[in-house]
Structure 1
Amino acid sequence: MKRIALILLIAIATVGASSAQEKKEAVHIYNPQANARADIDGAVAKAKKEGKHVFLQIGGNWCSWCIAFHKMVDNTPELKQFINDNYEVVLVNYSPENKNEAVLASLNYPQRFGFPVFVILDGNGKLLHTQNSAYLETDEKDANGKKKTGHSVKAVTDFLKNWTPKAVDPETYKQQKAK
């Protein structure tokens, strides 16, 4: 009996050890130790110099929607290129380790919309827009007719197109009116 118990104990320990090894590696998209204020200030300075705006993606490694959004951008070359051409991007962490409360307060508390939440700043650091990402979710259905989880590439692209420096420049519209 002792022998069977010992074999059973070893089997359980072996299964537990292999399960621990099979666990997914933690996601490290957001950096809880990052100095969000310094990162934003650097992005604003670079955006001003390059004629871009700043796109803040606020969320955390704990947030499945934040991770899904980040992967969607990485896996959509046209969207990724559009963002790189028009925005300086800063990922602002929100987690128990670092809620970046002072930074988020200076941005009028965008976390009120949940995560991820997107903030657009101009090249002077002026807040232009805060976007609740729920409005950018996909309407696509899976094979069973159930709504898919994730954001719509088209909705995200349209949103970002509306906040480029050209889109918010009054001269853009004065020129159109003259034609």
Structure 2
Amino acid sequence: MKKFLLLVAVIGCVNIAAAQDKPHLYNPAADAKADIAAAVKRASATHKNVLLQIGGNWCVWCIRFNDLVTKNDTLNNYLTKNYEVVHVNYSPENKNEKLLAELGYPQRFGFPVFIVLDGKGNRLHTQNSSYLEEGKGHSKAKVLEFLESWSPSALDPKNYVEKAK
């Protein structure tokens, strides 16, 4: 009996340690609408856009994307310079259904799915992440192109005015 109880205790400790190692990017208890409003306020003040990454801690592709953009210096620097990022939870505990309805039902594309908002909170673009995939992850080049295409400078009309000769 003692051996059985010891085995149960060891398995319990291993499970707790494994659960602590899992990244928790998404918080089911978060007030996503308030988080987005705060990000929009920061973006407005710093001339950035807002990137909503919608998914869940259960989603391996969500974790892979986050790993790519946080561990790759080029992507991380570009993202930090141009975007305020909000991880919006979608899980059985909290699907954020009302918010996602307001955002045009982006979950139809699967997860992760990305929405770009401007500094006023207007939705500029919804990105199906499958177009950014390559192999068992996401393409650095495709992700950078996506981020560049929806950055504040890419959308600034001043960058497209012809200069007088």
Verify same fold: TM over 0.5: yes
Equivalent in the alignment of 1:76: 72
The CA RMSD measured in Å over matched residues stands at: 1.9
Q: Specify every segment of 5 or more residues in structure 1 that has no aligned partner in the other structure, as ranges.
A: 1-5, 139-147
The structural deviation recorded for 1:109 is 0.6
TM-score relative to the length of structure 2: 0.89
Is 2:144 aligned against 1:157?
Answer: yes
The structural deviation recorded for 1:77 is 1.7
TM-score relative to the length of structure 1: 0.82
Alpha-carbon distance in structure 2 between the residues aligned to 1:46 and 1:169:
18
Aligned length: 161
Alpha-carbon distance in structure 1 between the residues aligned to 2:122 and 2:68:
27
User: SS at the partner of 1:78?
Assistant: helix
Equivalent in the alignment of 1:92: 88
Which of residues 152, 155, 159 in structure 2 aligns to 1:168? 155
The structural deviation recorded for 1:27 is 3.1
Alpha-carbon distance in structure 2 between the residues aligned to 1:170 and 1:27:
39
* Map 1:1-179 → 2, pairs under 5 A: 10=3, 14-23=6-15, 24-25=18-19, 26-138=22-134, 148-175=135-162
Sequence identity percentage: 53
Q: Hey, which bits of structure 1, 4+ residues long, moved more than 6 A? A: none
Alpha-carbon distance in structure 1 between the residues aligned to 2:104 and 2:142:
24
User: SS at the partner of 2:54?
Assistant: strand
The structural deviation recorded for 1:178 is 5.2
The structural deviation recorded for 1:168 is 1.2
Alpha-carbon distance in structure 2 between the residues aligned to 1:163 and 1:35:
25
User: SS at the partner of 1:91?
Assistant: strand
The structural deviation recorded for 1:108 is 0.4
